[in-house]
Amino acid sequence: MKFLYWTAYCVLCLGSLAAGSVLGLAASSPLLGQAMKARLGIASNPFEGKDELFILALGCDENRQYGGKVVSEFARTDSIHLVRLDFKNKAIGMLHIPRDTESPLEGHGVTKINGLHVVGGTELTAQAVEELTGIRPDRVVVVNYKSIEKSVDVLGGVELFVPKKMNYDDDAGDLHIHLNPGRQRLTGKQAVGFLRYRRDSDFFRGERQQQFLKAMKQEISRKPDKFTDVVNLISEILSDSLSSEEIVSLAMFVAKVPSSKIKNAMLPVTEGHGTVLVPIESEIPKALVDAGLVKPPATRTRDTSL
């Protein structure tokens, strides 16, 4: 879902363009046209009347298990986030589910949750998330790393601080990461390597995702001439998940949510056999509250009238 924050920001960059320029761009993209309507206050709200929306955001890798290129319906999920957009209270909540989390889904045995997308696509992954959290996602957004790579290259790279030496090779997954520490401008392929580096934990990957998003925001704001290309790419990426009207509406909502009303947490897990992470069921209810996905349980007040 962190990718959705970046998506929203891209659309909202329209606000920094002159009205005449926006009108000229609107004809080249349905997404830009819808954003212009929203800016003028004439766009309808596709989520009118809804108090909340749950989105399952999946960051997908290429699947080379069967020799072909990556197709999203058979790709493993490297990142899994369940997000709640609370329209009523203008808040956002996000739960990060580690990719190695054990998922004992009926009919599929006990497997890691990131492998379910390979055999059952978004529907099976959504079922597993519902089994873990009790929450059924309203929408599923799938983004593969090739899309992120293209976005970075369109902008001419992104400046990031690499905290340590990163060397990792996976011939089967066509993943080759060789980065030296220090601040530097990374190409699309290098940026994807920065995000996908696997020789540390999900906690560090989460920090790198945050750093990447901030850097992308800066690149977009500095290069308005690339804006049309980036927005068109976003529209292409999300066309199967959200309409142009919905993307813009969510972008406008995200922009109005203060940082103090954005919560995030990780699904509580403990180490299991091998690299499997086992959910700590007794701690999940608290994690859902901490992540802003559910309201805290009502506290009982003591009756002192007796």
Q: Does residue 17 have a pLDDT over 50?
A: no
Instruction: Kindly list the distances between the CA atom of residue 150 and the CA atoms of 189, 237, 272, in Å, as whole numbers in the listed order.
Output: 9, 11, 37
Predicted model pTM: 0.73
- Range picked from 45-49, 106-110, 151-155, 230-234 for highest mean pLDDT: 151-155
Picking from 10-24, 80-94, 160-174, 273-287, which range would have the lowest pLDDT averaged per residue? 10-24
Which of these, 135, 153, 158, lies nearest to 80 by C-alpha position?
Answer: 135
Q: Structural domain tally of the chain?
A: 1
Residues 160, 194: Cα–Cα separation, whole Å: 9
What pLDDT score does 238 carry? 66
Asked if residue 260 belongs to a domain, the reply is yes
- Over residues 145-172, the pLDDT tens digits come to 777 888 899 889 999 999 999 998 877 6
Residue 46 is assigned to a structural domain of this protein: yes
Q: Is the dihedral of CA 130, 135, 138, 144 positive or negative?
A: negative
Query: What CATH number corresponds to the domain at position 243?
Result: 3.30.420.590
Which of 42-56, 62-76, 151-165, 219-233 holds the top average pLDDT? 151-165
Q: Return the DSSP state at 199.
A: S
Query: 56 burial class (0-12, 13-18, 19+ CB within 10 angstroms)?
Result: buried
Q: Is residue 197 part of a domain?
A: no
Distance CA 238, CA 1 (A): 12
Tokens in use for 58? Answer: 């999946």
Helix, strand or coil for residue 53?
A: strand
Determine which of 110-114, 154-158, 261-265, 267-271 has the lowest per-residue pLDDT on average.
Answer: 110-114
Q: At 246, is the secondary structure helix, strand, or coil?
A: helix
Q: Which domain holds residue 285?
A: 2-154+225-290
Of 260, 157, 230, the closest CA to residue 9 belongs to 230
3-state secondary structure of 129: helix
| Residue 132 pLDDT | 93
61 within some domain: yes
Residue 9 has pLDDT above 50, yes or no: no
Contact 116, 128 (CB under 8 A): yes
Does some domain include residue 159?
A: no
Give the Cβ contact number of residue 7 at 10 Å: 26
| 57 belongs to a structural domain | yes
Q: Which of 107-111, 227-231, 238-242, 286-290 has the highest mean pLDDT?
A: 286-290
The answer to whether residue 189 scores a pLDDT higher than 60 is: yes
Residue 179 counted as domain residue: no
Tell me whether residue 199 is in a domain: no
Average pLDDT, integer, range 226-244: 70
